Amino acid sequence: SCNIILMPLGDKRYIVLSARVHPGETNSSWVMKGVLKFLLSNDPTAQVLRNKFVFKIIPMLNPDGVINGSHRCSLSGQDLNRHWITPHPVMHPTIFYAKGIIQWLVANKRKPFVYCDFHGHSRKKNIFMYGCRDPTGTKIEEALPRLLNATAPVFSLKSCSFAVEKSKEATARVVVWRELGVARSYTMESTYCGADEGPYKGLQIGTEHLEEMGYHFCTALEGLDELPSNPNMYDQEDASGVTQMPPGSEEDETSTSSCSTTDSDDSND
């Protein structure tokens, strides 16, 4: 049994999760399935997480695109993950209201502890994150990826990047970080392919591995909550395992806001 002291709703922090803004990235839905299965389970850690946090979860940000078989776009022919700055309630309704949820939380002093948008990647291997580098140098954005690297077999810290590219300024992770002030704002990328490091090296990633990633994501949230609030916690650590890409070089991420023929089929951020 797990003895839990129930926390009043008003004292709980918020975690916002979303997935499938790009319809073809079906692997993101399997990670989300793993998250939901774990959070709704009787596992003691799941009970602790439900007691500590309120989870706002949007499993599918682009249902019209999924239903109609699009790979990256909505019915309007646009990449919804390039319209988070000024989403239109008719042209981009799911983004308009998803952003509205986070805006409401921030306005009511319930700023999310973590925001993560689940994606798939068609060219890079492993599972990894894009975050947003804290300009004050606290490296707070590295804590969750480091926890995942220590616990999730298919996660790769070396593949993570915390660059904030101009071409990504209208994506979920950057807008939620820059405009709404959520320091731990991420894109989680899951490979279409396989792993090139760790215990799954040389293997194709299957649905069971993606669901497993959802489980490890949840357990890492508990670990993140237990970390000391030390702004200099990584100052003495070797960060060489984290990719520090120069401006303009964030690998493989497409930058156009429409789904024209210039849009790469790389499935990311």
Is residue 82 within 8 A of residue 171, CB to CB? The reply is yes
237 is catalytic: no
Pairing verdict, β 127-130 and 114-121: unpaired
Measured CA to CA, the distance from residue 42 to residue 63 in angstroms comes to 30
SS3 state of residue 194: strand
What distances in angstroms separate CA 243 from CA 83, 84, 133, 140, one per listed residue? 26, 25, 12, 16
Question: Residues 25, 141, 142, 189: which is the catalytic one?
Answer: 189
Pairing verdict, β 185-191 and 127-130: antiparallel
The catalytic residues are: 189
